A and B are shown apart, each in its own frame.
Chain A
Amino acid sequence: MSKSIDQIFISAKQWLLSWLTGAPDWVIQVASSLINIFTLLAVFLTLFALMSVLERKILGRIQNRYGPNRVGPFGLLQPVADGIKMLIKEDIVPARADKIVHFLAPILIAAAAVLALGVIPYGRNMTPFTIDGGILFFFAVGSTTELAVFMAGWGSNNKFSMLGAMRAIAQMISYELPLIITVLPVVMVVGSLNPDAIVAAQNGYALGLVPRWFVFTPWGATAFILFFVSGLVESNRTPFDVPEGESEIVAGHMTEYSGFKYATFFMAEYIGMFAITGLAATLFLGGWHSPMRALEFLPSYVWFFAKLSALLFVYIWLRGTLPRTRVDQIMNFAWKFMLPMAFTCVIAAAVWHYAGRGLRGWLWSLVVIAIVYTALSILLDARRKFAPRTYRFAE
Protein backbone atom coordinates (compact mmCIF):
# COMPACT_ATOMS: atom_id res chain seq x y z
CA MET A 1 0.00 0.00 0.00
CA SER A 2 2.63 2.50 1.07
CA LYS A 3 4.71 1.44 -1.91
CA SER A 4 1.94 2.31 -4.37
CA ILE A 5 1.46 5.71 -2.71
CA ASP A 6 5.20 6.26 -2.92
CA GLN A 7 5.15 5.62 -6.66
CA ILE A 8 1.77 7.26 -7.33
CA PHE A 9 3.19 9.99 -9.57
CA ILE A 10 5.26 7.51 -11.56
CA SER A 11 2.17 5.33 -12.10
CA ALA A 12 0.15 8.40 -13.09
CA LYS A 13 2.77 9.32 -15.69
CA GLN A 14 2.87 5.78 -17.03
CA TRP A 15 -0.91 5.77 -17.27
CA LEU A 16 -0.80 9.01 -19.25
CA LEU A 17 1.89 7.59 -21.53
CA SER A 18 -0.12 4.40 -22.05
CA TRP A 19 -2.51 6.48 -24.16
CA LEU A 20 0.33 6.81 -26.64
CA THR A 21 1.17 3.11 -27.08
CA GLY A 22 1.86 2.40 -30.71
CA ALA A 23 3.16 5.91 -31.40
CA PRO A 24 6.74 6.30 -32.65
CA ASP A 25 9.50 6.33 -30.04
CA TRP A 26 10.32 9.99 -30.34
CA VAL A 27 6.68 11.02 -29.76
CA ILE A 28 6.69 9.08 -26.48
CA GLN A 29 10.03 10.60 -25.51
CA VAL A 30 8.81 14.14 -26.18
CA ALA A 31 5.53 13.50 -24.37
CA SER A 32 7.39 12.07 -21.37
CA SER A 33 9.66 15.11 -21.22
CA LEU A 34 6.72 17.48 -21.56
CA ILE A 35 4.89 15.78 -18.67
CA ASN A 36 8.01 16.19 -16.51
CA ILE A 37 8.39 19.84 -17.47
CA PHE A 38 4.76 20.74 -16.83
CA THR A 39 4.72 18.92 -13.49
CA LEU A 40 7.91 20.71 -12.41
CA LEU A 41 6.56 24.11 -13.42
CA ALA A 42 3.17 23.51 -11.82
CA VAL A 43 4.64 22.29 -8.53
CA PHE A 44 7.28 24.97 -8.20
CA LEU A 45 5.14 27.90 -9.34
CA THR A 46 2.56 26.86 -6.76
CA LEU A 47 5.31 26.59 -4.19
CA PHE A 48 6.51 30.06 -5.24
CA ALA A 49 3.03 31.51 -4.68
CA LEU A 50 2.77 29.75 -1.33
CA MET A 51 6.27 30.78 -0.30
CA SER A 52 5.69 34.45 -1.11
CA VAL A 53 2.68 34.64 1.18
CA LEU A 54 4.26 32.44 3.88
CA GLU A 55 7.40 34.57 3.85
CA ARG A 56 5.38 37.72 4.44
CA LYS A 57 3.40 35.98 7.17
CA ILE A 58 6.49 34.71 8.98
CA LEU A 59 8.30 38.04 8.61
CA GLY A 60 5.17 39.65 10.05
CA ARG A 61 5.33 37.27 12.99
CA ILE A 62 9.00 38.09 13.57
CA GLN A 63 8.32 41.81 13.40
CA ASN A 64 5.29 41.56 15.69
CA ARG A 65 2.60 42.38 13.12
CA TYR A 66 0.00 40.38 11.19
CA GLY A 67 1.27 40.20 7.63
CA PRO A 68 -1.19 39.83 4.72
CA ASN A 69 -4.59 38.71 6.02
CA ARG A 70 -7.20 40.43 3.81
CA VAL A 71 -7.38 38.38 0.60
CA GLY A 72 -8.99 34.99 1.08
CA PRO A 73 -8.77 32.82 4.21
CA PHE A 74 -5.65 33.75 6.24
CA GLY A 75 -4.53 35.89 3.29
CA LEU A 76 -3.79 32.76 1.29
CA LEU A 77 -5.11 34.29 -1.94
CA GLN A 78 -2.66 37.18 -1.69
CA PRO A 79 -0.37 35.76 -4.45
CA VAL A 80 -3.34 35.72 -6.84
CA ALA A 81 -3.99 39.38 -6.14
CA ASP A 82 -0.28 40.14 -6.52
CA GLY A 83 -0.16 38.26 -9.81
CA ILE A 84 -3.12 40.18 -11.23
CA LYS A 85 -1.58 43.44 -10.07
CA MET A 86 1.73 42.60 -11.74
CA LEU A 87 0.00 41.57 -14.98
CA ILE A 88 -2.06 44.74 -15.38
CA LYS A 89 0.77 47.11 -14.44
CA GLU A 90 2.22 49.20 -17.23
CA ASP A 91 5.42 47.75 -18.67
CA ILE A 92 7.87 50.66 -18.82
CA VAL A 93 11.05 50.39 -20.88
CA PRO A 94 13.44 53.35 -20.53
CA ALA A 95 13.84 55.39 -23.75
CA ARG A 96 17.63 55.04 -23.71
CA ALA A 97 17.60 51.36 -22.81
CA ASP A 98 19.06 48.63 -24.97
CA LYS A 99 15.62 47.24 -25.82
CA ILE A 100 16.56 43.70 -26.86
CA VAL A 101 18.95 43.03 -24.00
CA HIS A 102 16.52 44.64 -21.54
CA PHE A 103 13.79 42.30 -22.80
CA LEU A 104 15.88 39.12 -22.85
CA ALA A 105 17.43 39.42 -19.36
CA PRO A 106 14.36 38.35 -17.28
CA ILE A 107 13.64 35.49 -19.69
CA LEU A 108 17.18 34.14 -19.47
CA ILE A 109 17.35 34.43 -15.69
CA ALA A 110 14.03 32.58 -15.24
CA ALA A 111 15.02 29.89 -17.76
CA ALA A 112 18.30 29.25 -15.97
CA ALA A 113 16.55 28.96 -12.60
CA VAL A 114 13.92 26.52 -13.92
CA LEU A 115 16.50 24.37 -15.76
CA ALA A 116 18.44 23.84 -12.54
CA LEU A 117 15.35 22.19 -10.99
CA GLY A 118 15.43 19.46 -13.62
CA VAL A 119 18.19 17.29 -12.15
CA ILE A 120 17.13 17.11 -8.49
CA PRO A 121 15.71 13.77 -7.27
CA TYR A 122 12.36 14.63 -5.66
CA GLY A 123 11.58 11.10 -4.57
CA ARG A 124 12.22 7.44 -5.30
CA ASN A 125 12.49 7.21 -9.15
CA MET A 126 11.40 10.84 -9.33
CA THR A 127 14.33 12.61 -10.99
CA PRO A 128 12.84 14.55 -13.91
CA PHE A 129 15.97 14.31 -16.08
CA THR A 130 18.72 11.85 -15.25
CA ILE A 131 22.06 13.20 -16.42
CA ASP A 132 25.33 11.47 -15.66
CA GLY A 133 26.91 14.78 -14.62
CA GLY A 134 23.77 16.16 -12.96
CA ILE A 135 25.61 18.15 -10.30
CA LEU A 136 27.79 19.74 -12.98
CA PHE A 137 24.67 20.54 -15.02
CA PHE A 138 23.18 22.31 -12.02
CA PHE A 139 26.18 24.60 -11.64
CA ALA A 140 26.68 25.08 -15.39
CA VAL A 141 23.12 26.30 -15.74
CA GLY A 142 23.41 28.37 -12.58
CA SER A 143 26.49 30.13 -13.91
CA THR A 144 24.50 31.61 -16.81
CA THR A 145 22.58 33.64 -14.23
CA GLU A 146 25.55 35.99 -13.97
CA LEU A 147 25.32 36.85 -17.65
CA ALA A 148 21.58 37.43 -17.29
CA VAL A 149 22.11 39.78 -14.35
CA PHE A 150 24.71 41.65 -16.34
CA MET A 151 22.29 41.93 -19.26
CA ALA A 152 19.65 43.37 -16.93
CA GLY A 153 22.08 45.95 -15.56
CA TRP A 154 23.55 46.88 -18.93
CA GLY A 155 20.30 46.86 -20.87
CA SER A 156 18.63 49.27 -18.45
CA ASN A 157 21.25 51.96 -19.14
CA ASN A 158 21.00 53.19 -15.58
CA LYS A 159 23.74 53.81 -13.00
CA PHE A 160 21.91 52.04 -10.19
CA SER A 161 21.17 49.06 -12.40
CA MET A 162 24.79 48.73 -13.47
CA LEU A 163 26.08 49.12 -9.90
CA GLY A 164 23.63 46.50 -8.70
CA ALA A 165 24.61 44.13 -11.49
CA MET A 166 28.31 44.56 -10.74
CA ARG A 167 27.75 43.91 -7.06
CA ALA A 168 25.65 40.87 -7.85
CA ILE A 169 28.20 39.40 -10.25
CA ALA A 170 31.10 40.11 -7.88
CA GLN A 171 29.48 38.26 -5.01
CA MET A 172 28.04 35.48 -7.16
CA ILE A 173 31.43 34.66 -8.70
CA SER A 174 33.19 34.88 -5.33
CA TYR A 175 30.73 32.55 -3.63
CA GLU A 176 30.51 30.15 -6.54
CA LEU A 177 33.97 28.91 -5.49
CA PRO A 178 33.08 27.81 -1.94
CA LEU A 179 29.70 26.60 -3.23
CA ILE A 180 31.27 24.22 -5.72
CA ILE A 181 34.23 23.22 -3.56
CA THR A 182 31.90 22.21 -0.71
CA VAL A 183 30.18 19.85 -3.15
CA LEU A 184 33.53 18.21 -3.96
CA PRO A 185 33.82 16.14 -0.74
CA VAL A 186 30.40 14.61 -1.38
CA VAL A 187 31.31 13.84 -5.00
CA MET A 188 34.65 12.39 -3.84
CA VAL A 189 33.09 10.14 -1.22
CA VAL A 190 30.26 8.92 -3.47
CA GLY A 191 32.43 8.72 -6.58
CA SER A 192 29.74 10.06 -8.87
CA LEU A 193 28.32 13.35 -10.14
CA ASN A 194 24.89 11.78 -10.49
CA PRO A 195 22.36 13.12 -7.91
CA ASP A 196 20.60 9.75 -7.79
CA ALA A 197 23.85 7.99 -6.87
CA ILE A 198 24.52 10.61 -4.18
CA VAL A 199 21.09 10.01 -2.63
CA ALA A 200 21.55 6.25 -2.87
CA ALA A 201 24.89 6.52 -1.05
CA GLN A 202 23.12 8.07 1.95
CA ASN A 203 20.79 5.11 2.41
CA GLY A 204 20.73 3.12 5.65
CA TYR A 205 21.47 3.80 9.29
CA ALA A 206 24.66 3.76 11.31
CA LEU A 207 24.26 1.69 14.52
CA GLY A 208 20.70 1.09 13.28
CA LEU A 209 19.66 4.53 14.47
CA VAL A 210 21.47 7.51 12.94
CA PRO A 211 20.79 7.87 9.21
CA ARG A 212 23.92 7.83 7.03
CA TRP A 213 23.39 11.37 5.81
CA PHE A 214 26.55 13.29 5.08
CA VAL A 215 25.48 16.08 7.41
CA PHE A 216 26.18 13.74 10.34
CA THR A 217 29.90 13.56 9.57
CA PRO A 218 32.20 16.44 10.64
CA TRP A 219 33.20 17.29 7.07
CA GLY A 220 29.59 16.98 5.93
CA ALA A 221 28.28 19.31 8.62
CA THR A 222 30.93 21.92 7.84
CA ALA A 223 30.37 21.61 4.11
CA PHE A 224 26.61 21.84 4.62
CA ILE A 225 26.89 25.10 6.56
CA LEU A 226 29.30 26.56 4.00
CA PHE A 227 27.06 25.40 1.15
CA PHE A 228 24.00 26.88 2.82
CA VAL A 229 25.65 30.28 3.36
CA SER A 230 27.02 30.31 -0.20
CA GLY A 231 23.57 29.42 -1.49
CA LEU A 232 22.16 32.32 0.50
CA VAL A 233 24.60 34.64 -1.27
CA GLU A 234 23.96 33.11 -4.69
CA SER A 235 20.24 33.78 -4.38
CA ASN A 236 20.96 37.38 -3.25
CA ARG A 237 18.97 37.08 -0.05
CA THR A 238 19.29 39.04 3.17
CA PRO A 239 21.83 39.38 4.83
CA PHE A 240 23.65 39.30 1.48
CA ASP A 241 21.24 41.40 -0.57
CA VAL A 242 23.58 44.29 -1.36
CA PRO A 243 22.90 43.83 -5.11
CA GLU A 244 19.34 44.95 -4.44
CA GLY A 245 20.07 47.27 -1.54
CA GLU A 246 16.79 49.22 -1.59
CA SER A 247 18.14 51.94 0.66
CA GLU A 248 21.20 52.72 -1.48
CA ILE A 249 20.70 51.72 -5.12
CA VAL A 250 16.88 51.44 -5.35
CA ALA A 251 16.62 47.82 -6.53
CA GLY A 252 19.94 47.13 -8.21
CA HIS A 253 19.70 45.49 -11.60
CA MET A 254 15.90 45.42 -11.31
CA THR A 255 15.52 49.19 -10.95
CA GLU A 256 14.23 49.76 -14.49
CA TYR A 257 11.90 46.78 -14.58
CA SER A 258 8.21 47.04 -13.88
CA GLY A 259 5.12 44.90 -14.07
CA PHE A 260 5.51 41.33 -15.14
CA LYS A 261 9.20 41.56 -15.96
CA TYR A 262 9.89 42.53 -12.37
CA ALA A 263 7.70 39.64 -11.25
CA THR A 264 9.80 37.34 -13.46
CA PHE A 265 12.98 38.42 -11.66
CA PHE A 266 11.25 37.86 -8.36
CA MET A 267 10.12 34.42 -9.49
CA ALA A 268 13.60 33.52 -10.71
CA GLU A 269 15.03 34.46 -7.31
CA TYR A 270 12.59 32.16 -5.53
CA ILE A 271 12.97 29.30 -8.00
CA GLY A 272 16.74 29.64 -7.61
CA MET A 273 16.24 29.40 -3.86
CA PHE A 274 14.20 26.21 -4.25
CA ALA A 275 16.87 24.75 -6.50
CA ILE A 276 19.77 25.50 -4.18
CA THR A 277 17.94 24.26 -1.05
CA GLY A 278 16.82 21.20 -2.98
CA LEU A 279 20.41 20.48 -3.90
CA ALA A 280 21.51 21.05 -0.29
CA ALA A 281 18.92 18.50 0.85
CA THR A 282 20.07 16.07 -1.84
CA LEU A 283 23.77 16.41 -1.11
CA PHE A 284 23.85 16.54 2.66
CA LEU A 285 20.43 15.72 4.13
CA GLY A 286 19.92 12.38 2.45
CA GLY A 287 17.60 13.59 -0.31
CA TRP A 288 14.29 11.74 -0.08
CA HIS A 289 15.40 9.26 2.59
CA SER A 290 13.48 9.27 5.86
CA PRO A 291 15.34 10.07 9.08
CA MET A 292 14.06 7.02 11.00
CA ARG A 293 13.26 3.46 10.05
CA ALA A 294 9.91 3.73 11.80
CA LEU A 295 8.92 6.66 9.59
CA GLU A 296 9.72 4.96 6.30
CA PHE A 297 6.03 4.38 5.57
CA LEU A 298 5.71 8.03 4.57
CA PRO A 299 6.28 8.52 0.82
CA SER A 300 9.75 9.64 -0.27
CA TYR A 301 8.62 12.94 -1.82
CA VAL A 302 7.03 13.96 1.48
CA TRP A 303 10.44 13.72 3.11
CA PHE A 304 12.12 15.66 0.34
CA PHE A 305 9.65 18.52 0.53
CA ALA A 306 9.75 18.48 4.33
CA LYS A 307 13.52 19.02 4.19
CA LEU A 308 13.09 21.66 1.50
CA SER A 309 10.51 23.54 3.60
CA ALA A 310 12.70 23.36 6.69
CA LEU A 311 15.63 24.89 4.81
CA LEU A 312 13.38 27.56 3.24
CA PHE A 313 12.08 28.43 6.68
CA VAL A 314 15.66 29.05 7.82
CA TYR A 315 16.09 31.37 4.81
CA ILE A 316 13.07 33.41 5.90
CA TRP A 317 14.13 33.31 9.51
CA LEU A 318 17.59 34.70 8.65
CA ARG A 319 15.97 37.42 6.55
CA GLY A 320 13.86 38.49 9.47
CA THR A 321 16.76 38.43 11.92
CA LEU A 322 19.97 39.68 10.33
CA PRO A 323 20.88 43.15 9.06
CA ARG A 324 22.45 43.66 5.64
CA THR A 325 26.23 43.18 5.41
CA ARG A 326 28.58 45.53 3.60
CA VAL A 327 30.05 44.69 0.20
CA ASP A 328 33.65 44.51 1.47
CA GLN A 329 32.58 42.35 4.42
CA ILE A 330 30.92 39.88 2.06
CA MET A 331 34.01 39.69 -0.15
CA ASN A 332 36.46 39.33 2.73
CA PHE A 333 34.33 36.60 4.24
CA ALA A 334 34.29 34.68 0.96
CA TRP A 335 37.99 34.76 0.22
CA LYS A 336 39.50 34.71 3.69
CA PHE A 337 37.19 32.34 5.51
CA MET A 338 34.77 30.42 3.26
CA LEU A 339 37.33 29.33 0.67
CA PRO A 340 39.96 27.93 3.10
CA MET A 341 37.23 26.16 5.08
CA ALA A 342 35.82 24.65 1.88
CA PHE A 343 39.25 23.24 1.00
CA THR A 344 39.51 21.90 4.55
CA CYS A 345 36.27 19.99 4.01
CA VAL A 346 37.81 18.29 0.98
CA ILE A 347 40.85 17.23 3.02
CA ALA A 348 38.71 16.16 5.97
CA ALA A 349 36.56 14.01 3.69
CA ALA A 350 39.69 12.33 2.34
CA VAL A 351 40.90 11.70 5.91
CA TRP A 352 37.47 10.28 6.81
CA HIS A 353 37.61 7.97 3.80
CA TYR A 354 41.13 6.67 4.42
CA ALA A 355 40.59 6.22 8.18
CA GLY A 356 37.90 3.71 7.37
CA ARG A 357 34.64 5.74 7.29
CA GLY A 358 33.91 4.63 10.86
CA LEU A 359 34.21 6.27 14.26
CA ARG A 360 37.98 6.64 13.84
CA GLY A 361 37.53 8.54 10.56
CA TRP A 362 34.81 10.62 12.16
CA LEU A 363 37.14 11.74 14.97
CA TRP A 364 40.13 12.33 12.69
CA SER A 365 38.17 14.52 10.28
CA LEU A 366 36.77 16.42 13.25
CA VAL A 367 40.35 17.04 14.41
CA VAL A 368 41.36 18.33 10.96
CA ILE A 369 38.44 20.73 10.79
CA ALA A 370 38.88 21.93 14.37
CA ILE A 371 42.60 22.65 13.82
CA VAL A 372 42.05 24.63 10.62
CA TYR A 373 39.06 26.49 12.05
CA THR A 374 40.97 27.53 15.16
CA ALA A 375 44.07 28.54 13.20
CA LEU A 376 41.98 30.52 10.73
CA SER A 377 40.06 32.31 13.48
CA ILE A 378 43.24 33.25 15.33
CA LEU A 379 44.90 34.42 12.11
CA LEU A 380 41.93 36.50 10.98
CA ASP A 381 41.41 37.89 14.46
CA ALA A 382 45.03 39.01 14.75
CA ARG A 383 44.96 40.77 11.38
CA ARG A 384 41.76 42.64 12.13
CA LYS A 385 42.32 46.36 12.69
CA PHE A 386 39.79 48.25 14.72
CA ALA A 387 39.94 51.60 13.00
CA PRO A 388 37.41 53.90 11.35
CA ARG A 389 36.64 52.78 7.84
CA THR A 390 38.65 54.69 5.26
CA TYR A 391 37.26 55.53 1.86
CA ARG A 392 39.54 55.70 -1.15
CA PHE A 393 37.24 57.21 -3.68
CA ALA A 394 34.44 58.90 -1.74
CA GLU A 395 35.80 61.58 0.54
Chain B
Amino acid sequence: MSSTAFIVIAILTLAAALAAATLQKLMHAALSFAVALVGVAAFFFSLGAEFVGLVLVFVYIGAVAVLIVFTILLTRRDVGKDRGTNWSGVIVAVAVFGGLIWTILETPSLSAAAPQIPALTVRRIGEALMTNYVWPLQCIGVLLTAALIGALILVMEERR
Protein backbone atom coordinates (compact mmCIF):
# COMPACT_ATOMS: atom_id res chain seq x y z
CA MET B 1 0.00 0.00 0.00
CA SER B 2 2.60 2.54 1.10
CA SER B 3 4.99 1.64 -1.72
CA THR B 4 2.19 2.14 -4.28
CA ALA B 5 1.46 5.51 -2.71
CA PHE B 6 5.16 6.32 -2.83
CA ILE B 7 5.42 5.54 -6.55
CA VAL B 8 2.28 7.52 -7.42
CA ILE B 9 3.42 10.54 -5.41
CA ALA B 10 6.95 10.30 -6.81
CA ILE B 11 5.73 10.23 -10.41
CA LEU B 12 3.40 13.20 -9.81
CA THR B 13 6.08 15.22 -8.03
CA LEU B 14 8.74 14.52 -10.64
CA ALA B 15 6.36 15.27 -13.52
CA ALA B 16 5.35 18.57 -11.92
CA ALA B 17 8.97 19.48 -11.21
CA LEU B 18 9.95 18.65 -14.78
CA ALA B 19 7.06 20.76 -16.05
CA ALA B 20 8.19 23.63 -13.80
CA ALA B 21 11.64 23.45 -15.36
CA THR B 22 10.66 23.03 -18.98
CA LEU B 23 7.33 24.80 -19.59
CA GLN B 24 7.71 27.83 -21.87
CA LYS B 25 5.12 30.02 -20.17
CA LEU B 26 6.55 31.36 -16.93
CA MET B 27 3.19 31.40 -15.14
CA HIS B 28 2.54 27.74 -15.99
CA ALA B 29 5.98 26.88 -14.68
CA ALA B 30 5.28 28.70 -11.40
CA LEU B 31 1.96 26.86 -10.97
CA SER B 32 3.57 23.49 -11.73
CA PHE B 33 6.13 24.33 -9.08
CA ALA B 34 3.24 24.67 -6.61
CA VAL B 35 1.99 21.21 -7.67
CA ALA B 36 5.47 19.79 -7.07
CA LEU B 37 5.40 21.29 -3.57
CA VAL B 38 2.08 19.55 -2.91
CA GLY B 39 3.79 16.31 -3.91
CA VAL B 40 6.61 16.93 -1.44
CA ALA B 41 4.03 17.65 1.27
CA ALA B 42 2.36 14.34 0.40
CA PHE B 43 5.71 12.61 0.96
CA PHE B 44 5.92 14.06 4.44
CA PHE B 45 2.38 12.86 5.10
CA SER B 46 3.18 9.32 3.97
CA LEU B 47 6.24 9.38 6.25
CA GLY B 48 4.04 10.29 9.22
CA ALA B 49 5.45 13.81 9.58
CA GLU B 50 2.04 15.49 9.48
CA PHE B 51 3.16 18.79 10.90
CA VAL B 52 5.98 19.32 8.41
CA GLY B 53 3.67 18.43 5.52
CA LEU B 54 0.96 20.82 6.68
CA VAL B 55 3.42 23.66 7.25
CA LEU B 56 4.87 23.00 3.80
CA VAL B 57 1.43 23.40 2.21
CA PHE B 58 0.63 26.37 4.41
CA VAL B 59 3.82 28.33 3.86
CA TYR B 60 4.88 27.26 0.39
CA ILE B 61 1.52 27.08 -1.39
CA GLY B 62 -0.26 29.76 0.62
CA ALA B 63 2.58 32.27 0.74
CA VAL B 64 5.65 31.48 -1.35
CA ALA B 65 3.75 30.35 -4.46
CA VAL B 66 1.51 33.42 -4.26
CA LEU B 67 4.63 35.56 -3.84
CA ILE B 68 6.21 33.97 -6.93
CA VAL B 69 3.16 34.46 -9.15
CA PHE B 70 2.84 38.06 -8.01
CA THR B 71 6.51 38.70 -8.68
CA ILE B 72 6.03 37.39 -12.20
CA LEU B 73 2.87 39.43 -12.62
CA LEU B 74 4.38 42.70 -11.42
CA THR B 75 7.85 42.51 -13.00
CA ARG B 76 7.45 40.95 -16.47
CA ARG B 77 5.65 42.52 -19.38
CA ASP B 78 6.33 39.67 -21.78
CA VAL B 79 5.21 36.74 -19.64
CA GLY B 80 3.90 34.76 -22.58
CA LYS B 81 7.11 34.99 -24.63
CA ASP B 82 9.50 32.11 -25.17
CA ARG B 83 12.76 33.06 -23.50
CA GLY B 84 14.85 30.14 -24.73
CA THR B 85 16.99 27.92 -22.52
CA ASN B 86 19.09 29.50 -19.81
CA TRP B 87 22.31 27.47 -20.04
CA SER B 88 23.89 28.79 -16.84
CA GLY B 89 20.76 27.65 -15.01
CA VAL B 90 21.10 24.20 -16.57
CA ILE B 91 24.74 23.97 -15.42
CA VAL B 92 23.85 25.00 -11.86
CA ALA B 93 20.97 22.51 -11.76
CA VAL B 94 23.13 19.66 -13.05
CA ALA B 95 25.87 20.55 -10.54
CA VAL B 96 23.41 20.53 -7.62
CA PHE B 97 21.87 17.27 -8.80
CA GLY B 98 25.29 15.66 -9.19
CA GLY B 99 26.40 16.88 -5.77
CA LEU B 100 23.29 15.46 -4.10
CA ILE B 101 23.63 12.11 -5.87
CA TRP B 102 27.30 11.91 -4.89
CA THR B 103 26.48 12.71 -1.25
CA ILE B 104 23.71 10.12 -1.12
CA LEU B 105 25.91 7.43 -2.66
CA GLU B 106 28.80 8.23 -0.31
CA THR B 107 26.65 8.13 2.83
CA PRO B 108 27.24 4.72 4.42
CA SER B 109 24.39 4.70 6.95
CA LEU B 110 21.66 4.75 4.29
CA SER B 111 21.72 0.99 3.84
CA ALA B 112 21.26 0.41 7.58
CA ALA B 113 17.72 -0.04 8.87
CA ALA B 114 16.09 3.15 10.13
CA PRO B 115 16.00 3.42 13.93
CA GLN B 116 12.58 3.18 15.53
CA ILE B 117 11.54 6.67 16.57
CA PRO B 118 8.27 7.69 18.19
CA ALA B 119 5.77 9.47 15.92
CA LEU B 120 6.59 13.11 15.24
CA THR B 121 3.62 14.77 16.89
CA VAL B 122 2.89 18.48 17.01
CA ARG B 123 3.30 18.33 20.78
CA ARG B 124 6.87 17.03 20.55
CA ILE B 125 7.81 19.69 18.00
CA GLY B 126 6.31 22.36 20.22
CA GLU B 127 8.19 21.10 23.28
CA ALA B 128 11.49 21.01 21.37
CA LEU B 129 10.91 24.53 20.03
CA MET B 130 10.09 25.90 23.48
CA THR B 131 12.99 24.24 25.34
CA ASN B 132 16.13 23.43 23.33
CA TYR B 133 15.53 25.74 20.41
CA VAL B 134 13.92 28.70 22.12
CA TRP B 135 16.77 31.11 21.31
CA PRO B 136 16.94 30.35 17.59
CA LEU B 137 13.15 30.69 17.53
CA GLN B 138 13.32 34.11 19.21
CA CYS B 139 16.06 35.25 16.82
CA ILE B 140 14.00 34.22 13.79
CA GLY B 141 11.04 36.07 15.29
CA VAL B 142 13.05 39.26 15.66
CA LEU B 143 14.48 38.89 12.16
CA LEU B 144 11.03 38.41 10.62
CA THR B 145 9.61 41.37 12.54
CA ALA B 146 12.49 43.52 11.26
CA ALA B 147 11.79 42.32 7.70
CA LEU B 148 8.10 43.12 8.12
CA ILE B 149 8.81 46.64 9.36
CA GLY B 150 11.31 47.11 6.54
CA ALA B 151 8.74 46.09 3.95
CA LEU B 152 6.22 48.50 5.47
CA ILE B 153 8.71 51.38 5.35
CA LEU B 154 9.45 50.61 1.69
CA VAL B 155 5.82 50.90 0.64
CA MET B 156 4.90 53.77 2.98
CA GLU B 157 3.37 56.77 1.28
CA GLU B 158 5.85 59.63 1.02
CA ARG B 159 4.86 62.75 2.92
CA ARG B 160 4.43 65.70 0.63
Q: Please give the residue numbers on chain A whose beta carbons come within 8 Å of chain B beta carbons, in ascending order.
A: 26, 98, 100-101, 131-133, 136-137, 139-144, 146-147, 150-151, 154, 162, 169, 173, 176, 191-193, 392
Q: Do the beta carbons of A147 and B61 come within 8 Å of each other? A: yes
B57 within 8 A of A: yes
B128 within 8 A of A: no
Q: Do the beta carbons of B28 and A100 come within 8 Å of each other? A: yes
Contacts of B15 in A (CB 8 A): none
Q: Do the beta carbons of B27 and A140 come within 8 Å of each other? A: no
CA distance A191 to B130 in the complex (A): 13
Complex: chain A residue closest to B67, CB-CB: A173
Prevailing SS type, chain B contact patch: helix
Q: Do the beta carbons of A133 and B34 come within 8 Å of each other? A: no
Q: Do the beta carbons of B27 and A144 come within 8 Å of each other? A: no
Q: Do the beta carbons of B69 and A140 come within 8 Å of each other? A: no
Known: A101-B31, A136-B58. A150 touches B66 (CB 8 A): yes
Q: List 6 A-B residue pairs with CB atoms under 8 Å apart, sorted by A's residue number.
A: A98-B27, A143-B62, A146-B62, A169-B66, A169-B70, A173-B66
The 6 A-B residue pairs whose C-beta atoms are closest, nearest first, are A143-B62, A140-B58, A140-B57, A136-B54, A140-B54, A133-B122
B51 within 8 A of A: yes
Contact of A392 among B57, B63, B122, B157 (CB under 8 A): B157
Q: Do the beta carbons of A144 and B61 come within 8 Å of each other? A: yes
CB of B124 to closest CB in A, whole Å: 11
Q: Do the beta carbons of A147 and B58 come within 8 Å of each other? A: no
Chain B: number of interface residues, binned into ranges: 20 to 34
B146 within 8 A of A: no
Q: Do the beta carbons of A26 and B27 come within 8 Å of each other? A: no
B22 within 8 A of A: no
CA distance A339 to B73 in the complex (A): 28
Task: Tell me the chain B residues, 80-102 only, with Cβ under 8 Å from chain A.
Answer: none
Q: Please give the residue numbers on chain B whose beta carbons come within 8 Å of chain A beta carbons, in ascending order.
A: 1, 25, 27-28, 31, 34, 50-51, 54-55, 57-58, 61-63, 65-66, 69-70, 73, 121-123, 157
Contacts of A162 in B (CB 8 A): 73
Contacts of A139 in B (CB 8 A): 58
CB of B64 to closest CB in A, whole Å: 10
CB of B71 to closest CB in A, whole Å: 12
Known: A133-B54, A151-B31, A154-B69. A26 touches B1 (CB 8 A): yes
Known: A131-B50, A154-B27, A193-B122. A143 touches B69 (CB 8 A): no
CB of A347 to closest CB in B, whole Å: 16
Contact of B73 among A101, A141, A154, A392 (CB under 8 A): A154
Known: A100-B28, A146-B66, A169-B66. A132 touches B1 (CB 8 A): no
Q: Do the beta carbons of B122 and A141 come within 8 Å of each other? A: no
Contacts of B57 in A (CB 8 A): 140-141, 143-144
Contacts of A173 in B (CB 8 A): 63, 66
Contacts of B63 in A (CB 8 A): 143, 173
Contacts of A144 in B (CB 8 A): 57, 61-62
Residue among B25, B31, B51, B65 facing the most chain A CB atoms (10 A cut-off): B31
Residue among B51, B54, B57 facing the most chain A CB atoms (10 A cut-off): B54
CA distance A154 to B57 in the complex (A): 21
A sample of 16 more A-B contacts (CB under 8 A), given A131-B50, A133-B50, A193-B122, is A98-B28, A136-B51, A136-B58, A140-B62, A141-B57, A143-B57, A143-B58, A144-B57, A146-B62, A150-B70, A151-B31, A154-B27, A169-B66, A176-B62, A191-B123, A392-B157
Complex: chain B residue closest to A194, CB-CB: B122
Contacts of A136 in B (CB 8 A): 51, 54-55, 58, 122
CB of A394 to closest CB in B, whole Å: 15
CB of B56 to closest CB in A, whole Å: 8
CB of B83 to closest CB in A, whole Å: 17
